[in-house]
Amino acid sequence: PDAIGPEVHDYEDLLAAASPVDWTPVPEGRAGSMMYTSGTTGSPKGVVYSHRSMVLHTFGTMMTDTLGACERDVILPVVPMFHANAWGLAHAGVATGATLVMPGADLSPGALAGLIESESVTMAAGVPTIWMGVLPELVGRETSSLRSVICGGSAVSRSLSEGFRETTGLPILQAWGMTETSPLAATCNIKSTLDHLDDDAKADLRTAVGLVTAGVDFRIAEPETGEELPWDGQTSGELQVRGPWVAGSYYDDERSPESFTDDGWLKTGDVATADAEGYIRLVDRTKDLIKSGGEWISSVELENEIMAHPEVAEAAVIGVTSAKWGERAMACVVTTEGADLSADDVLAWLDGRVVKWWMPDRVEFIDEVPKTSVGKFSKKTLRDRFADVTVD
């Protein structure tokens, strides 16, 4: 009306003004939506979701041992619709009758923390970068309504999860998926059989991506042969998944055979382990592993150890050329505001936390880690930026 700013319509008034419409049934297998991958390692690929797969994925978000979305929830999805339909949370809200809180144009940490408090949000979801900014803004606020803070898109560090537990009483719930999995495929809820673990052990467990959602199958496989590898928490291989809301091909893309096996498994490109309880832990992306002297270095594990330092905000590790070793690790580090951190400090922090030959040969301090459109670290951008760097 006379207010300054965008015109706002009342949802209930719009519903009341609508004319009756005859609903035309749609074949469940027909395309209902198409999303494009973020192109972390190459050009984006189109993923088509059928009406059936979207409905089944919505049911998946409502399961108690995944996200448990329900009518009582007030859901704040700090993820865009172009990111796999806001992780399916918009659909979950409509299906359950939950309240949806849309953050709007102001995604500043203070604004998001204010929404959590003022709207009594029960479930919030975003990438690690979002929650790193929001965490200090939650100090002193009323957050007792929160029952779940979901984080995905990149690995969740122990320090970030524990920071939320100390501030709100609620650790972060790590979730894992891809555009190809609609995206929810795993969440790190702790089984009742593991309730006996102490707080320290539970904090370590929460850095895993967790257990697959009911309806989704997974295996740890030898990438070339497809041979299934043991769930011993040590043996790593490619994480492969299949299920009713997992894609079987890409839209009009000749690269489909590279990503899907003949027997229907999606080759995720993630290197992972699984333990005897079924908890999946990502080791790296196959294209981000660093091969040094014929041995593999996990960039993700190095990043997590570096980001555990209290003066480190973000860290990304890439491989750079070495005449002797082929590749060596280089750490790109973003410090917290006001921190006075040197390369030697970073290396001293890592000493004893990782094996000697994993130690980065170079530490580069940068203003920020470049991100893809969905908030993932863009290591491709970093590799291009430091393409001329060589070490002995």
* Per-residue pLDDT reduced to its tens digit, 205-228: 999 999 999 999 999 999 888 899
pLDDT of res. 291: 84
Cα-atom radius of gyration of the chain, to the nearest Å?
22
DSSP 50-97: EHHHHHHHHHHHHSTTTT---TT-EEEE-S-TTTHHHHTHHHHHHHHT
pLDDT of res. 224: 81
Instruction: Give percent of the chain above pLDDT 90.
Output: 76
- Assign 79 to helix, strand or coil: coil
CA distances from 100 to 74, 110, 145 (A): 6, 19, 15
Query: Does residue 1 have a pLDDT over 50?
Result: no
Q: Which residues pair with 317 in a beta bridge?
A: 331
Inter-axis angle of helices 158-168 and 299-307, to 10 degrees?
40
Residue 200 near residue 176, CB atoms below 8 Å: no
Among 37, 168, 273, 372, the active-site one is 37
| 144 token code pair | 């007792």
Closest CA to 268 of 302, 243, 298: 243
Query: Does residue 279 have a pLDDT over 70?
Result: yes
Among 291, 295, 336, 368, the active-site one is 291
DSSP 262-323: TTS-EEEEEEEEE-TT--EEEEEETTT-EEETTEEE-HHHHHHHHHTSTTEEEEEEEEEEET
Q: Strand 237-242 vs strand 217-221: parallel, antiparallel, or unpaired?
A: antiparallel
| 212 token code pair | 């697959």
Q: Reply yes or no on whether 37 is catalytic.
A: yes
Q: Average pLDDT of 214-243? A: 95
Q: Average pLDDT of 162-191? A: 96
Q: Reply yes or no on whether 179 is catalytic.
A: no
Q: Chain-centre distance of CA 305, in angstroms? A: 18
Among 117, 137, 180, 314, the active-site one is 180
Global confidence as pTM: 0.79
Q: Reply yes or no on whether 291 is catalytic.
A: yes
Omega before residue 183 within 30° of 0, cis? yes
Q: Which residues pair with 362 in a beta bridge?
A: 330
Query: Does residue 53 have a pLDDT over 80?
Result: yes
- Domains in the chain (CATH in brackets) are 28-284 (3.40.50.12780), 288-391 (3.30.300.30)
Among 167, 191, 277, 296, the active-site one is 296
Q: Reply yes or no on whether 325 is catalytic.
A: no
Q: Average pLDDT of 289-303? A: 87
Q: Average pLDDT of 170-198? A: 96
